[in-house]
Chains A and B, each alone.
Chain A
């Protein structure tokens, strides 16, 4: 295997959980809701996913359970911030604390239990394409799901009426309401979708990347996913770019260490963060403004009757 090919394969694995969670959060934020609880939903997905897979013996059920767990967490958040118009930032952070704790409770019995991971599936024909086929089409199902989600969300937001309505809820909920759309219901569905994606990202960690449970195993990836949504200026394709950029620099710095590059490891480890900032500054500087977030992001909406 070529080294470049190997590196790209690793980059995709490293970036996929970030991308999955970021795509979900992107839809949530497009609907006008800021859910900072991605880390909490993701780690619940990781814990419930592996525990369900161990209990039932089925990885598919594990994934389903992880998605359900992410959605259940999101539902709590939705009930608070949409049903009761609670502050979104605080509720999201509280959700993270709650999720980190609950995942530990759920996972406690499964510490140190091994499980077979979910393997790769080579797509027929496509995987035979030299290089590209090897890198992109000999992957695990989650990677394909992330490709599909990027394309699907992009199509949904800009090519469907429902997507237009969702974006309207994020830009100007009062107008959307005046037009007869149920803003809160739409936002709630978006929040659930975000939870499902975060749960899926968690399952990727505990069922594919490192198939076992360990406390706090998301290690801040939910926060990076949030940053990627911002990096993307709320555009799905750019979320993919952001996730692969971040994952790519992360893997390259690990390779640089392995190759013995004589720089402080802390500097190398800081590179993904610094380069993400730098690239975003460049993008913004070249495009001269533009690309702001949804107008009503983070503001509760309470319909007048």
Chain B
């Protein structure tokens, strides 16, 4: 007996629902096993992991705060990946956005800046992210240098640049020479939206980006071009689309969105620049992009899902005394299931009796 896959002519709509449900079912089944093995009450563990983050307004706001940078970056990455540009350096573009936007906040600290400061920070952050992303894009189109290497290497360079800035020129003069900038002033802080939580303006911005991304991909010529270049590059060339320009465009968009996410994070949740600004959002967003099937709305769903698993992992550490590593194993398993079940959408699995090739 062996498993073979048959490509589906079209995906029945029921499967779009069934696949995530199956993934959840499998997750629940193995979660029950894992938790039983660890001597935990499986139902309580499941509640802590998946439902508690959603059980009140504060929790929901936290999910939104955690998902916002992931989704923002992932929407940009989706455009990149659709057009066969393998940008894995969004983390660096995120940091550059934080550096540029945060740098402006530091420069204007104490000056009576007024209401334009935050919009300016967001703009500068997006530009800086885009500029950082243009390096691999230009090296790719000009010299044929593979963007996997350049975008990844530039992540480390960005981390070191941030490190140097906050220890050197931008260090808080009253901060006992610790590696961080001043805490941003009120006009350089992303405003909170609700009482009793940390939901800030970043989330509506992210939602707007999701809608814009969906419109761009689904309703515009540019969107068609992106998809066509990715799926049928030869046909795209035949249609007169300029692949180089498209590479620049998608890298710039991705970088800008990652940069925007970076400055929103710096000016929203952290409110100062410091070396550990990102818990790897730029890398996690890659998973979000693919789990969301490179579709902006899908990225939104996947981003929220991943945010829940991160917060659930923290809750499990607190309430079940489960070590961080176990929560990571669990998160990994969960992703495996989701990816495996996704197969159902495109293929029909069949068990065959062994009969040669």
Contacts and interface: CB of A to CB of B under 8 A. Distances in A.
B156 A273 contact: yes
B35 interface: no
B153 A277 contact: yes
B301 to A, nearest CB: 14
A102 B145 CA distance: 35
A227 B149 CA distance: 5
Contact of A89 (B286, B324, B346): B286
B299 interface: no
Nearest to A97: B332
Contact of B325 (A80, A101, A303): A101
B291 interface: yes
Interface stretch (B161-169, B217-225, B253-261): B161-169
B340 interface: yes
Interface string A93-110: 111011111111100100
A87 B342 contact: yes
Nearest to A90: B290
Q: Name the residue among A86, A281, A303 with the largest chain B CB count within 10 angstroms.
A: A86
Interface string B344-355: 001101000000
A223 B331 contact: no
B157 A284 contact: no
A86 B342 contact: yes
B238 interface: no
A230 to B, nearest CB: 4
Nearest to A84: B343
A264 interface: yes
Contacts of A103: 325
A269 B4 CA distance: 49
Contacts of A231: 149
B139 A281 contact: yes
Contact of B323 (A87, A93, A105, A277): A105
Contacts of A284: 143-145
A269 B332 CA distance: 31
B149 A277 contact: yes
Contacts of A227: 148-149, 152-153
Contacts of A3: none
B343 A277 contact: no
Given A94-B332, A108-B323, A226-B152, A86 B340 contact: yes
A160 to B, nearest CB: 22
Interface in B124-181: 139, 143-146, 148-150, 152-154, 156-157, 160-161, 163-164, 167-168
A182 B332 contact: no
A261 to B, nearest CB: 15
A145 interface: no
Contacts of B287: 90, 93-94
Interface in B302-357: 323-333, 335-336, 339-340, 342-343, 346-347, 349, 357
Contacts of B245: none
A182 B148 contact: no
A280 B167 CA distance: 31
Given A182-B357, A274-B157, A293 B146 contact: yes
B350 to A, nearest CB: 9
Contacts of A226: 148, 152
Interface size grouping (class) on chain B = 35 or more
Given A76-B336, A91-B336, A266 B160 contact: yes
B3 interface: yes
A285 interface: yes
Contacts of A130: none
A175 to B, nearest CB: 15
Contact of B339 (A91, A276, A305): A91
B352 to A, nearest CB: 9
B342 A266 contact: no
B139 A277 contact: yes
A98 B152 contact: no
B164 A267 contact: yes
Interface in A231-282: 231, 264, 266-267, 269-270, 273-274, 276-277, 280-281
Contacts of A97: 328, 331-332, 335
A104 B5 contact: no
B6 interface: yes
A124 interface: no
A36 B284 CA distance: 13
Given A83-B3, A101-B326, A105-B329, A269 B290 contact: no
B251 to A, nearest CB: 16
Contacts of A223: 152
B153 A101 contact: no
15 contacts: A90-B287, A91-B339, A93-B286, A97-B332, A100-B328, A101-B328, A102-B329, A108-B323, A226-B152, A266-B161, A266-B164, A266-B167, A277-B145, A289-B144, A292-B144
The 3 closest A-B pairs by CB, nearest first: A98-B332, A101-B328, A104-B325
Given A273-B153, A274-B157, A305-B4, 15 more contacts: A84-B340, A90-B290, A97-B332, A98-B335, A98-B336, A100-B325, A101-B329, A102-B325, A103-B325, A264-B168, A266-B164, A270-B156, A270-B160, A273-B156, A277-B139
Interface of B: 3-7, 81, 86, 88, 139, 143-146, 148-150, 152-154, 156-157, 160-161, 163-164, 167-168, 283-284, 286-287, 290-291, 323-333, 335-336, 339-340, 342-343, 346-347, 349, 357
